[in-house]
């Protein structure tokens, strides 16, 4: 059979990131590569209780087809979460999605044609790049610094690309850098979106996991003219396996999302939605988030201390105040893959920076994850990684 694939299918069979995660899954390898929450904190017993109760009390509804916009009980829970981000809205503005990954996909499907410009942070979440690329996006990368996306670079990109369809941003504890956009830049971004009449897709999976600094409101909270689409998820505060996310937008747009979702998967898993709503009704989610935050903070401190102690002079890193990732920049290294190869020789895995860029990369960069590595293993892994970096820098 000769397969005649659509343009959306990647031409190459090389799955660089998949291959990295595969080797990182080898028990011999200490992996700083993935982006997984700490499974020891999943509230298994409470979810079991919630599931039993849902099956007992509304088993038939939970196993039946449901509304594409989502179970009302869960949308109410989501409205409470949104208040924490400064977004005061109602259930008509919310659609439940199958993880925020689906919100990204539906947004790409709705707004991107072959050749459409999408502005992204340089670097950004690599699976969003894959999605937008599959719909034919032309990427324009915007520089970042420790305060997030640079607004002068963004305005220049908007001036040079008047046909921009979307600005995609992860403003808080960004994947892959761990950086956070300042309050002033958040306001400025919304102003620029209005001035140039461009949509913003705000992706906020990590915002609740903060151990330092002041909680910052979502971009969406400053949006008075429907220029911002907001996405959230249960994945990092509760359980990624349930695949529960949400998109928040103008009801007119939510109607379109709901129609597109119908075509994609009819609706998000009803049982998962009822169970999550029940879990949130019976448990204190803030207490749970506090536990996650304390553990990740401990791991982040161990990682940063070890990095500062062992990495060669000149190597710099981001200073996350929350979230799950550390971004490392090694001077003088042209090929980030070499860092990965040298680390793997020492049974440590990281994700080299290249796939996090829409087009031009910043060489010598990589991402480290700390949420998924037990405290007693972090220093040893960083020590070995330091030797790998030394070797590549000396070559
Ligand atoms: N956006 C970002 C920035 C992410 O890091 C992730 C997951 N790693 C997602 C979206 C997708 O998350 P989910 O579909 O589990 O909500």
Q: Which pTM does this prediction carry?
A: 0.97
Mean pLDDT per block of 10 residues along the chain (395 residues) reads 90 81 86 94 98 98 97 97 97 98 98 97 96 96 97 98 97 98 98 98 98 97 97 98 98 98 98 98 98 98 98 96 98 93 95 93 96 95 97 93
Q: How far is the CA of 207 from the centre of ligand 1 (A)?
A: 12
Q: Which atom of ligand 1 is nearest to the CA of 35?
A: 8
Q: By alpha-carbon position, which residue is closest to atom 5 of ligand 1?
A: 175
Ligand 1 within 6 A of CB of 240: yes
Helix or strand (DSSP H, E) at 203: strand 199-203
Predicted pLDDT at 37 = 96
Asked if residue 235 has its Cβ within 6 Å of ligand 1, the reply is: yes
Centre of ligand 1 from the C-alpha of residue 30, in Å: 22
pLDDT score of 378: 97
Picking from 87, 39, 41, 95, the residue whose alpha carbon sits closest to that of residue 273 is 95
The alpha carbon of 121 and the centre of ligand 1 are apart by a number of angstroms equal to 16
The closest-lying atom of ligand 1 relative to the alpha carbon of residue 98 is 14
Give pLDDT, residue 17. 79
Q: For a pocket test of ligand 1, which of 104, 201, 233 has the largest count of ligand atoms closer than 8 A to its C-beta?
A: 233
Ligand 1 centroid, distance to 2 Cα (angstroms): 34
**Any atom of ligand 1 within 6 Å of the Cβ of 204:** no
CA-nearest of 301, 332, 302 to 316 is 332
Is residue 170 within 6 Å of ligand 1 at its C-beta? yes
Please choose, from the candidates 281, 278, 309, 325, the residue with its C-alpha nearest in 3D space to the C-alpha of residue 379: 309
Q: Helix H segments across 142-284?
A: 151-160, 183-195, 251-265, 270-282
From the alpha carbon of 244, which atom of ligand 1 is closest? 16
* Ligand 1 contacts CB of residue 381 (under 6 A): no
Burial of 61 (0-12, 13-18, 19+ CB in 10 A): middle
Cα of 241 from ligand 1 centre, angstroms: 12
ipTM above threshold 0.90: yes
371 CA → ligand 1 middle, Å: 15
Q: Are strands 199-203 and 30-31 parallel, antiparallel or unpaired?
A: unpaired
Q: 16: buried, middle or exposed (CB in 10 Å: 19+, 13-18, 0-12)?
A: middle
| The ligand 1 atom nearest the CA atom of 124 | 3
* Predicted pLDDT at 253: 98
Whole-number pLDDT of residue 19? 82
* Pairwise CA distance, residues 128 & 248, whole Å: 18
């Amino acid at each position: 059979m000769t397969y005649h694939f659509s343009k959306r299918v990647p031409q190459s069979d090389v799955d660089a990131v998949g291959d990295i995660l595969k080797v990182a899954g080898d028990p011999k390898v200490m992996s700083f590569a993935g982006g997984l929450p700490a499974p020891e904190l999943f509230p298994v017993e409470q979810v079991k209780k919630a599931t039993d109760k849902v099956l007992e009390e509304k088993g038939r509804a939970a196993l039946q087809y449901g509304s594409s916009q989502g179970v009302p009980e869960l949308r109410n829970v989501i409205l409470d979460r949104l208040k924490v981000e400064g977004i005061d809205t109602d259930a008509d503005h919310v659609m439940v999605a199958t993880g925020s990954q689906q919100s990204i996909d539906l947004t790409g499907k709705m707004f991107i044609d072959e050749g459409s410009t999408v502005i992204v942070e340089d670097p950004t979440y690599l699976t969003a790049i894959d999605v937008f690329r599959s719909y034919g996006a032309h990427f324009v990368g915007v520089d970042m610094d420790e305060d997030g996306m640079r607004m002068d670079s963004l305005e220049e990109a908007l001036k040079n690309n008047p046909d921009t369809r979307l600005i995609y941003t992860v403003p808080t504890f960004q994947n892959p850098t761990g950086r956070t956009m300042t309050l002033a830049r958040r306001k400025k971004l919304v102003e620029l979106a209005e001035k140039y009449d461009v949509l913003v897709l705000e992706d906020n999976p990590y915002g609740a996991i903060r151990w330092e600094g002041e909680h910052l409101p979502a971009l969406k909270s400053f949006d008075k003219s429907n220029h911002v689409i907001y996405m959230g998820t249960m994945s990092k505060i509760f359980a990624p396996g349930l695949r529960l996310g949400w998109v928040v937008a103008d009801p007119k747009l939510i109607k379109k999302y709901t129609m597109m979702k119908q075509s994609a998967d009819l609706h998000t898993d009803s049982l998962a939605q009822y169970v999550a709503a029940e879990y949130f009704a019976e448990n204190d989610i803030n207490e749970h988030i506090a536990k996650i935050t304390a553990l990740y903070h401990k791991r982040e401190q161990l990682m940063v201390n070890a990095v500062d102690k062992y990495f060669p002079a000149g190597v710099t890193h981001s200073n996350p105040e929350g979230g799950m990732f550390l971004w490392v920049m090694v001077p003088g290294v042209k090929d980030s893959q070499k860092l990965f190869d040298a680390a793997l020789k020492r049974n440590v895995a990281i994700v080299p920076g290249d796939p996090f860029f829409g087009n031009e990369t910043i060489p010598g960069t990589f991402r480290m994850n700390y949420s998924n590595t037990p405290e007693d293993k972090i220093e040893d892994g960083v020590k070995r990684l330091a030797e790998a970096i030394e070797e590549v820098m000396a070559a």
